[in-house]
Structure 1
Amino acid sequence: MNNYFIKEEKIRFKHVDYAGIVFYPRFLEMLNDLVEDWFEEALERPFSTIHETNGIPTVDLKVQFKKAARLGETLTKSLWVKNLGGASVNCGFRFADENNKTCLEGEVTVVNVAFNEERNDIKAEVFSEEMKEKISKYLFQES
């Protein structure tokens, strides 16, 4: 069984351009919100506490814009894990409109990093076994 993290988002005036369709950078903000919500709600690791000692930067992003989304529509945003590495996680995502038509899809890879203030650097840090277990619940298993 595959688990997807799903959130809905209503397209608001702040998301759209003069033509009334979502301005493409707003889609990326919505994606970032989805990743942040996944970490907080599903993985129990809110960004507010992660960023005290660590970070989860996006290191790779592939996006395909399939269809315009319009003011007033509600999108269903889905996220799942395609690959879990030691310190990285590659996720697939899809934003669908109210008719289940894909507006946006792609992949995002984030890396768990630790901050070292003494050396003033950032270095990849392996996820804990507990975190790997939580993330694995969203691993897509092809039938």
Structure 2
Amino acid sequence: MSYFIKEEQIRFRHTDFAGIVFYPRFLEMLNDLVEDWFDEALDRPFSKIHETNGIPTVDLKVQFKNAARIGEILTKKLWVKELKSSSVICGFQFINQQEKTVLEGEVTLVNVAIAEDRKTIKAEAFNDEVKAKIEKYQL
């Protein structure tokens, strides 16, 4: 099993007046990591998923461990802690260039079907192909 890993440089747009990452930007970076994982590792790009389905976050636990500063490069890691029929609990960790954890936690995502009129949303099991791809990231 393995981690899904991406790097991201902290830019001016991520920071507050003190030059450190403003906490909501971390959540955007996490969502980018999830979106990249679905696109690159699971072959389920959000542009296609959202035609008929969705993958909303239903639970999020975050711990801010150290500040991240403009110009730094973070290594973002994601792995699967638990896979259920229609949901997946992923662990994540962002590490700076000094090998210090900046952010860590877990996110629960649910695979949902969206009705054609966009008014009804209900959990839907992952298909076997997607489950097999997700399992490759289970630690």
Give the TM-score of the pair, scaled to structure 1. Answer: 0.95
Q: Distance in 1 between matches of 2:35 and 2:118?
A: 28
How many Å separate the matches in 2 of 1:88 and 1:58?
Answer: 10
- Matching residue of 2:17: 18
One-letter amino acid of the counterpart of residue 3, structure 1: S
Find the residue that maps to 1:26 and give its secondary structure. helix
User: For the residues of structure 1 that align with 2:117 and 2:8, how far apart are their CA atoms?
Assistant: 41
Say yes or no: does 1:47 pair with 2:52.
no
Which amino acid is 2:78 matched to? L
> 1:118 deviation in Å?
5.3
Within the alignment, does 1:4 sit opposite 2:3 as a pair?
yes
Report the Cα offset of residue 119 of structure 1.
8.2
Give TM-score, length-normalised by structure 2.
Answer: 0.98
Runs (4+) off by over 2 Å = 117-120
Matches within 5 A, 1:1-143: 2-117=1-116, 120-140=119-139
Residue 122 of structure 1 aligns with an amino acid whose one-letter code is I
SS of 2:68's equivalent? Answer: coil
Once the two structures are overlaid, the 10-residue window that deviates more, 113-122 or 17-26, is: 113-122
User: C-alpha offsets along residues 58-85 of structure 1, whole Å, 9 cap, x if unaligned?
Assistant: 0000000000000000000000000000
- The amino acid that maps onto 1:69 is A
Q: Identity rate of aligned residues, in percent?
A: 72
Structure 1 residues 122 and 99: CA distance shift in structure 2, 3 A? same
**Aligned-residue offset at 1:117:** 2.7
Secondary structure at the residue paired with 2:106?
strand
CA distance in 2, matches of 1:15, 1:116: 35
Deviation for aligned residue 1:123 = 0.3
Q: Which runs of 5+ in 1 are unaligned?
A: none
Give the distance between the partners of 2:101 and 2:68, measured in 1 at CA. Answer: 10
The root-mean-square deviation of aligned C-alpha atoms, in Å, is: 0.9
Unaligned residue ranges in structure 2 (runs of 5+): none
- CA gap 1:43/1:119 in 2 versus in 1, 3 angstroms: closer
